[in-house]
Structure 1
C-alpha cells in the first residue's frame, strides 16, 4: 500500500498499515522538510571556521566574535516553544513558510553586511527564522507521516540530515571561506532557503489544532525570557568563563523566570505547555535522554577540534576530514536506525545508544599527546552513530501517542531540547579544557566527565522508562 500526504488539518492521524510505502509526493514532502532542517543545522556550524576572516573584514574584535554565534543561538533557542504553540493555533504550514521568508531575507542581509551591526542583525533574524522553521517543520513531519514504520523512517532521515548538517557545515565552511570568502557561507543559506520556499507551498498541507484557545501571554513571556537569559549566560560563559557579573545575573534571572513559568502554567486556563504532558514518563525521560546526547556530543566535537589542531597540530583541512568521516558514519547510522528501532523498540534503542555513546567517548581517553588522530577518528565516528540512534529514538518516544492537536507542543519540546543541548554542553564542560594546566590534560578531563554523564543518563533513562514500552 502506498501512503500519500494529503492529511486532514485536525483529528487523529491513523496509523500506517504494515508494509505501507511512501508515494512520490510523500517523498517530495519529506525532502522539503528535511532540507529545511538540514539548512538550519548547517547554519549552526558553517560560520565557525570563517570567524577570523569575518572579524578582519567587518572590524569585529576577537572578543566580539562570540556574538556571531550568540546572536543566532539566542533567538533560535529562546523562541522555539512560543512559535511551536503559535503554529498549533494558527497553522503550521503558514508559520513554516513565514520562517523561511525571514531566514532567507536574514541570510541575504548577513551576506551583504557592511558593518558589525548589520551582520549581527542578520544573524539574529536568522535565529528567529530558525526558531519558527524547526518546530513547525517537525510538527508537519509528525502530522504528515502516520505513527509507525513510516514516521520512524521519516524521523530517521530527518535526524540523520540534522547530524550530517552540523558536520558538513564544519567542513564546507572552511572550504568555502578559503575559496570564495566568508560571505559565501551566508549566501549558501539564502539560496537554500529560497529553494525550499519555492517547493514548499505546493507540497505541504495546512494543519492546526482543532480549537483555538487564547495564547498564554504570561507563559510566553516567562519561558521566552527565561530561555533567552539562560542561553545568553551559558554562551557568554563559554567565551569568558563564569566569573562575570552579567553571566551570573542573567543565569539567576533565567532560572527565576523559568520557575515563574512553571507557576504560571499551573494556573493558566490555556497553558503554553501542558504540565500533565511534562509529567508523562515518556516525555520527561525521553527529553532528558535527548538533552544529554546533544549536549555531550557537541562537547566532544568541541574538545576534539582543540585536540586535533592545538595538540596534534593538524591543519584545518585534515581536521575537517576527521569530522567528514564522522558525517559518513552518521549517514550509515541513519540508514539502519529505523530497522534497529523496529526490532528492539525506541526505548531500548535510546538506552543502548546512550550507553554506546558513553563507552566510545571513554575510548577517546586512550589517545596520546603525540598521536591519536586515527583513534579519535574511529572512536568519535562510532560514538556519533550511537548519538544518532539516541536522537531518532528520543524523538519517537516523546511524540508517540500524542494527538495531532498537541504535536506542535511535543515537537516544540523535542526541538527546544536539541537547541538547549547544543548550547549548554560546551560552556558547562568546555571550560575544563582550559583550566587543567595543559590543554591535553583539560581535554582528557572533559572527555572523562562527558563519558560518565552519558553512561549515567543511559542508566537513569532505563530506570525511568522501565515500565513503558516505546
Structure 2
C-alpha cells in the first residue's frame, strides 16, 4: 500500500542537515567510489584507441567492436548473479576478489601480445567489474544508513560515476596520442594497485548471520536463466550497434534473451529462495526508480554518441576538441555533485528524479536546432554540459529511490538491479536510436531526428515516473508502495 505523507500535500519536506563523515568513513567511501570510477573509466577510455590497437595487434576493422563487447558481456550479464552471491556469501570477500581480478585482467590487457590475449583480458575485466559494482554499491548502502548520510555517499558515488565516463573520453585521446593504446589499460592497472592494498583493512565484513543450514541457498535455475538472458540481450544490442538488427546472430540472441528472461520470471515465482524477490519488483520505488535510471543512461549515451558523430563528421572537430566539449560536462558534474544530496534532502528523491529527467529532456529538445555552421558548437557544448548536470541528478536520485526501504539483507539484490539498469541502459540506447543517425543519407538530418526522439523519450519517462510514484512520500527512503 502507499505510504502516506506526514506533511500537508502542499508542504515540501523539511531540509535535513547533511552529516559530516568521519575520517574512516571518507576512506571507505574513497575505496568504494574509486572502484566504481574505474569501471566507468573502463567503459570509455578505450574508444578512441581502437584504430591504433587494431593496427598493433592485427585485429580487423570488423573485429574491433569486440574490444568493447568482450567487456560489456560479462560485466552486464553477471551483475544480478554476483549481487546475490555477495548477499549470501559475503560482499566484502566478493568485492576484494573482483578488485583483484580486475587489476590482473587490466595487466594482461596492457601487455597483450595478440587479439586472443587482449580479448581474454577484456572479458576478465568485465567479470571483475560484475563482482565489483553490485557488491561495492551494497557495501555503500549498508555502511551508510538510509537518510542524509547515504544520500551524501550516493551523491559522491554518482558524481564520480558520471565523471569516470567523461575522464575516460578525454584521457583516452591524450594517452593514446602520447603513450600509445596500452597506456589506457595501464591506467586501470595503476588505479587498482592504489585501491587494492587499502580495501581489506577498511571494508566491513558482511557475512550472513545464523547457522549455515538455515541460510538461503543460491537459486541456481534462476541464476542460469537470468545470466543467460542478460548475456544474450547485451550481445544482441552490442552487435546491432555496429551491424544492424538484420543479422541472424542478432535475431537469435534477441529471441533467446527474451525467452530466457521469461523462463526466469516463472522460475522465480516458484522458487523457495529466489534470486530476485518478485514482491520487490512490485515496489513502486524499485520499479519506477529503475525506469528513470534506464532512460537517463540510455538516452544520454545516445546524445554523446550522436554528438560525437556531429562534431567530427559535420563540424570537423578533432578528437581532442571533441573531448574538450564533453570535458566541460565532467567539470560541471564535479561542481554540482556535492550539492546533489542537499537537493535530495530538500525536495526528496522522487521530486529530484522527476525534475532531473524533465530538465535533461527539455535541454536535449534544443539540439534539433543544430546546423552545419561552426557556431553550433556552442549550442552543443552548452546543452550537453547543462543536460549532464540534470543527468547526474537523475543518476543519484534514482539510486536513492530504487534502494530506499529495502532491508539490508536484500541490498545486494536492489543494488544489482540498479547497476544492471546502468549497464543495460548504456548498451540499449545507441543501437536503438544511434543507428538512425549512422544510416541516414543526410547525417545532419539524422542527428536532428535522433535528438528530437531522445528528448521525447526522456520527457515521456519523466511523466511516467511522476505518475508511478504519485502519492508516495517525497523524502528519501521508502517512497511509494511497499
TM beyond 0.5: yes
Deviates most, 419-428 or 19-28? 19-28
Shift of 1:366: 1.6
2:404 aligns with one of 391, 394, 400:
400
For 2:458 and 2:394, the matched residues in 1 are separated by: 11
- 1:208–1:405: 8 Å Cα contact kept in structure 2? no
1:467 aligns to 2:471 (yes or no): yes
2:241 aligns with one of 238, 249, 271:
238
Shift of 1:20: 3.5
1:450 aligns to 2:454 (yes or no): yes
**Number of the residue aligned with 2:220:** 217
**Number of the residue aligned with 2:6:** none
**Number of the residue aligned with 1:14:** none
- 2:66–2:119: 8 Å Cα contact kept in structure 1? yes
Q: Deviations over 1:353-400 (max 9, x none)?
A: 001100111111222112311110000101011001000001001111
Shift of 1:435: 2.5
1:436 aligns with one of 410, 416, 440:
440
Q: Deviations over 1:197-243 (max 9, x none)?
A: 11100111111444631100000000000000000000000000111
TM superposition score normalised by structure 1: 0.95
Q: Deviations over 1:246-301 (max 9, x none)?
A: 10010000000000000000000000000000011110000000000000001100
**Number of the residue aligned with 1:134:** 133
**Number of the residue aligned with 1:373:** 377
1:294 aligns to 2:293 (yes or no): no
2:270 aligns with one of 263, 267, 272:
267
Larger RCO (alpha carbons 8 Å, 6+ apart): 2
For 2:84 and 2:297, the matched residues in 1 are separated by: 23
Shift of 1:41: 0.3
1:276 aligns to 2:313 (yes or no): no
- 1:83–1:132: 8 Å Cα contact kept in structure 2? yes
Structure 2 unaligned regions, length at least 5: 1-15, 474-478
- 1:109–1:122: 8 Å Cα contact kept in structure 2? yes
Shift of 1:331: 1.3
**Number of the residue aligned with 2:338:** 335
Shift of 1:441: 1.0
Give 1:24-103 correspondences, 5 Å limit: 24-103=23-102
For 2:208 and 2:145, the matched residues in 1 are separated by: 16
**Number of the residue aligned with 1:320:** 323
For 2:438 and 2:109, the matched residues in 1 are separated by: 32
Q: Deviations over 1:111-131 (max 9, x none)?
A: 010000000000000000000
Shift of 1:436: 2.4
- 1:82–1:272: 8 Å Cα contact kept in structure 2? yes
For 1:327 and 1:179, the matched residues in 2 are separated by: 22
Shift of 1:21: 2.0
1:421 aligns to 2:425 (yes or no): yes
**Number of the residue aligned with 1:190:** 189
Shift of 1:23: 0.6
Shift of 1:139: 0.4
Structure 1 unaligned regions, length at least 5: 1-16
Shift of 1:81: 0.2
Rate the CA distance shift 1:19–1:428 in 2: closer, same or farther, 3 A: closer
For 1:325 and 1:141, the matched residues in 2 are separated by: 28
For 2:316 and 2:19, the matched residues in 1 are separated by: 51
3-state SS of paired residue (1:63): helix
TM superposition score normalised by structure 2: 0.93
3-state SS of paired residue (1:60): coil
**Number of the residue aligned with 1:412:** 416
Q: After TM superposition, which residue ranges in structure 1, 4 or more long, deviate above 3 angstroms?
A: 17-20, 208-211
**Number of the residue aligned with 2:359:** 356
**Number of the residue aligned with 1:12:** none
